[in-house]
Chains A and B, each alone.
Chain A
Amino acid sequence: QVQLVQSGAEVKKPGASVKVSCKASGYTFTSYGISWVRQAPGQGLEWMGWITPYNGNTNYAQKLQGRVTMTTDTSTSTAYMELRSLRSDDTAVYYCAKTTYYYDSSIGAFDIWGQGTMVTVSS
């Protein structure tokens, strides 16, 4: 079945970096996008950006430009999200989501989600 399996929880100090992985299975990895979304404790969903594994094209949320990098390894069907210069307000659950694009829509549907990775930033 189609699934995304993310790496485990992380605890980081302010100023450090974190890299979360998202391994896809059950579908052709290069035929869909991967989006990243985070959710701070008790808060709503925040879009971080997406990557198209077919060609590596990325689109990042303006708020995170310069601190986030999304990459993929098509040989292992794995996507990665690296966030640098971590602050306490980066504490959140980070999700990856398989993204299905439509010819008549600017954005795609986030139709399969990973289980989430808790990242805690604390001194």
Chain B
Amino acid sequence: SYELTQPPSVSVSPGQTARITCSGDALPKQYAYWYQQKPGQAPVLVIYKDSARPSGIPERFSGSSSGTTVTLTISGVQAEDEADYYCQSADSSGTSVVFGGGAKLTVL
């Protein structure tokens, strides 16, 4: 079955830039979506269609795509950004949704 691969953890200091990657063979032809999940809370959509930002999401969150890898970038990381981040996309047929394993962002 299709898989999306994320690093288990990413650590940055406040004010620095965090980059969380997500790799998958179908990403060149399927859009990626990113979700933030804080402990005990439901996920929140932070990026859709690779790089679009929903209303209400801070401008420091951005997304990009290059080949089989998509990247969520958080510029000027704040303590409140500490959370798990999940990428999501579809398999090559476009019929099955897949989530990455999640990356825990730690703000040092």
* Contacts from A to B (Cβ < 8 Å): 35, 37, 44-47, 50, 59, 61-62, 95, 102, 104-107, 109-111, 113-116
Contacts and interface: CB of A to CB of B under 8 A. Distances in A.
A64 B13 CA distance: 41
Interface stretch (B15-23, B61-69, B74-82, B89-97): B89-97
Task: Name the interface size band of chain B.
Answer: 20 to 34
A109 B97 contact: no
Contacts of B31: 102, 104-107
A116 B35 CA distance: 15
Interface string B46-58: 0011000010000
Given A45-B35, A115-B42, A109 B48 contact: yes
Interface of B: 1, 30-31, 33, 35, 37, 42-45, 48-49, 54, 86, 88-90, 94-102
Nearest to A109: B48
A59 B48 contact: no
B67 to A, nearest CB: 18
Contacts of B43: 37, 45, 95, 110, 113
Nearest to A112: B45
A47 B33 CA distance: 13
Nearest to B84: A44
A51 B31 CA distance: 20
Given A105-B49, A106-B30, A45 B86 contact: yes
Nearest to A100: B48
A104 B33 CA distance: 14
Contacts of A104: 31, 49
Contact of B99 (A46, A50, A116): A46
A20 B96 CA distance: 22
Contact of A44 (B54, B89, B90, B101): B101
A113 B88 CA distance: 15
